[in-house]
Amino acid sequence: MSEHITVGGVAVDTRHWIGGRRVASAATFTDVSPIDGAVLGEISRGGPAEVDAAVTAARAAFPGWAATSRAERAAVLNAVADGVEARLEELALVETLDNGALLRSHRRGVMPRVAHNFRFFAGWLLDLGREDFDTRGHTNHVTWDPAGPCALITPWNAPLMLATWKTAPALAAGNTVVLKPAEWSPLTASLLCDIAAAAGLPPGVLNVVQGYGAEAGTALVEHPGIRRISFTGSVPTARRIATTAAPNLTPLSLELGGKSPLLIFADADLDLAVDLAIEQYDNAGQVCLAATRLLVESTIEEEFTRRFLERAAALVQGDPRDEDTGIGPNIHPRQVEKIDGFVRRAVAAGARVLTGGGPNADLGGLYYRPTLLTGVAQDAEIVQEEVFGPVLTLQTFDTEDEAVDLANDTRFGLAATLATGSRERAERVSARLVAGTVWVNCFFVRDLQAPFGGSRESGVGREGGDWSFDFYCDIKNTVSAPNGWAPKGWNGHG
C-alpha cells in the first residue's frame, strides 16, 4: 500500500495518526470519488489494535495537555485555524473529490467554518466561567475540569466541518481526542493531522483512526479508557453505541437524524418560501437538518408548487467542481440505492412525482434528480423516515393547529423552519414545535455560541458555547468556609 496518494494535486497520507506519528495497517479499504467513480486510494483500515494504541496515546498525553493554561491551549487552536486557512484551497478540493459536495461551498463556507470552529472555541475558552456565589457566607467556585480522552465519530456529509465542530471544543477543554472519520470520506481528517502537528499540538493529543464502524468504531466506544463519546449519524448506529458504552457509563452526546418540516403559511413572502424550499436540496439532500417535508397552506398550494417547479427545473446538476453546478452527486452507490428505494416504494403506495423521481440518466453513476412527491399520507414511510437525499414531500394544511400537528407527527425533532409574515404567528408556532432549532423566514443560520442538538430520536444533549464545555468537562463546585484560612492556633498577630 502506498503511504501517500495524490488527490487533486494534493498529497494525502493514507495511514492513521497515532501518538504524533503515522501508523499503517495491514488491511485497507478503497476510497472512491462519488463524482466519477475514480479510485482515490487504499486507506489504512484500523481495528481494535489501532484503537487501543490511539487511546493509549491519548491517555498518556492527557495529563500534560490538561495541565496547560487556557492561554496556551487557545494559542495552539488559533495556530491550527491559521493552518486551515493557509491550506483552504487544498482542503476544499480534496473534500469535494472525496464526498462530492460543491467546491464553491467548500471554498466560501465550509472550510472557513472549519477555521472558525477552532478560533471560536479558543476564544470562548478564555472567557469561560461564572462569578463565585455565596451560600450562607460560604463561597462557591465553579470550574470546568478536563474529562479525559474523547472518542469522536463523525459522518461523511460534511467531514471536516463536523469533525472540527467536535474536536475544537474537546481540545479547548483540555481533553485528548481519538477521531474516527467516516470511511466514505476520510481524507481531510488526515490533512488535519498534518496541520495540527505543524501548529504545535503535542503528540497524542489528537489521534485519527480510519476504518469501518463495526471494527474501529465499536472498539473505540467500548474502550474503558474513553471518557466522552460524541457521535453524529443515524439512530440505529447511536443505539448500538449507547448499548456498547453503557457498561463503562461513558457520557454520550448524540446528534442524529431528522425529518424536519418547512411550514409555509399563506401570509408568507412566497418568493422567500420557494427559496427556502429549494435550499433543502443543498448537498444533494445529504443534510441532517434539511426540511424535507414541505407543509403548505392549501390556499397557496397551486401557486407555490408552480414557482417551486420552475426553480427546481433551473437547478444545474453535474460536476461539483463546476461553478454553475447547483446539485452534485450522492456519496455512494448504497446511498443512491437507498434513496431510490424510498421513492419507488412511495410511488407504489400512491405518491405522485411532480419532478425528478429517479437517477439522472444523462449523468449516470450517483447523480439523483431533485425530487418532489405529493399525494403522500402522514403515516407513509416517505414522510416518517429520513431519506438523506434530494427528495422532498409536499402536504397541505388548512389551519395553524393542523400545520403544527403535521410538523410534530414524526419520531424526530432536530429542526423546523417556518415562513410567515406574522410575528405573532411565528412566536405561537415556534413555541409549539418539537425541535432543537427553529428557523423563522431563514434557514441554516448557525452560531457556535447557540445550543445545537435534537429532541426525541434526533439526539441526546446539546453542544455549542457553554454547552460544549459542559459536555467535554467534569464540572466541579468548590465550596469554601468563611474565615477558614488562619492556621490552627494563630491569633492574628504577626
Q: What CA–CA distances, in Å, run from 64 to 161, 204, 303, 335, 469? A: 27, 10, 63, 43, 19
Which is the CATH superfamily of the domain at 4-256+454-478?
Aldehyde Dehydrogenase; Chain A, domain 1 (3.40.605.10)
Point out the catalytic residue in the list 150, 193, 288, 473: 288
Q: What is the reported pLDDT for 484?
A: 63
Q: What is the reported pLDDT for 368?
A: 97
Compute the distance between CA of residue 39 and CA of residue 339 in angstroms, rounded to an integer. 23
Q: What is the reported pLDDT for 492?
A: 41
Q: What CA–CA distances, in Å, run from 395 to 20, 101, 373, 442? A: 53, 29, 9, 20
pTM of whole model > 0.85?
Answer: yes
Q: What are the sequence ranges of the domains in the chain?
A: 4-256+454-478, 261-440
* Nearest to 441, CA basis, from 293, 311, 271, 259: 271
What is the pLDDT tens value at each position of the chain, 494 positions in all?
578 999 999 999 999 999 999 999 999 999 999 999 999 999 999 999 999 999 999 999 999 999 999 999 999 999 999 999 999 999 999 999 999 999 999 999 999 999 999 999 999 999 999 899 999 999 999 999 999 999 999 999 999 999 999 999 999 999 999 999 999 999 999 999 999 999 999 999 999 999 999 999 999 999 999 999 999 999 999 999 999 999 999 999 999 999 999 999 999 999 999 999 999 999 999 999 999 999 999 999 999 999 999 999 999 999 999 999 999 999 999 999 999 999 999 999 999 999 999 999 899 889 999 999 999 999 999 999 999 999 999 999 999 999 999 999 999 999 999 999 999 999 999 999 999 999 999 999 999 999 999 999 999 999 999 999 999 999 999 999 987 666 665 444 44
Compute the distance between CA of residue 7 and CA of residue 90 in angstroms, rounded to an integer. 9
357: left (phi over 0), alpha (psi -120 to 50) or beta: left
Q: What is the reported pLDDT for 2?
A: 72
Q: What is the reported pLDDT for 138?
A: 94
Burial class of residue 187 in the structure, from the number of CB atoms within 10 Å of its CB (0-12 exposed, 13-18 middle, 19+ buried) = buried
With vertex at residue 13, the alpha carbon angle to CA 10 and CA 16, rounded to the nearest 5 degrees, is 150
Q: What is the reported pLDDT for 485?
A: 64
- The pLDDT tens digits for 72-91 are 999 999 999 999 999 999 99
Compute the distance between CA of residue 245 and CA of residue 1 in angstroms, rounded to an integer. 33
What does the DSSP 8-state code read for residue 447?
-
* Nearest to 471, CA basis, from 176, 234, 173: 173
* Nearest to 294, CA basis, from 321, 325, 256, 268: 268
The answer to whether 255 is a known catalytic residue is: yes
With vertex at residue 107, the alpha carbon angle to CA 323 and CA 322, rounded to the nearest 5 degrees, is 15
Q: What is the reported pLDDT for 282?
A: 95
The sign of the CA dihedral 396, 397, 403, 407 is: negative
The answer to whether 288 is a known catalytic residue is: yes
**Residues near 155 by beta carbon (within 8 Å), at least 6 away in sequence:** 162, 182, 232, 233
Point out the catalytic residue in the list 255, 297, 301, 457: 255
Please, are residues 274 and 306 in contact by the beta-carbon 8 Å criterion?
Answer: no
Compute the distance between CA of residue 158 and CA of residue 150 in angstroms, rounded to an integer. 20
CATH assignment of 261-440, given 3.30.460.10, 3.40.309.10, 3.40.50.1360, 3.10.290.10?
Answer: 3.40.309.10
Q: How many CB atoms lie within 10 A of CB 366?
A: 24
* Nearest to 459, CA basis, from 417, 416, 411: 411
Please, are residues 42 and 29 in contact by the beta-carbon 8 Å criterion?
Answer: yes
- The pLDDT tens digits for 109-160 are 999 999 999 999 999 999 999 899 999 999 999 999 999 999 999 999 999 9
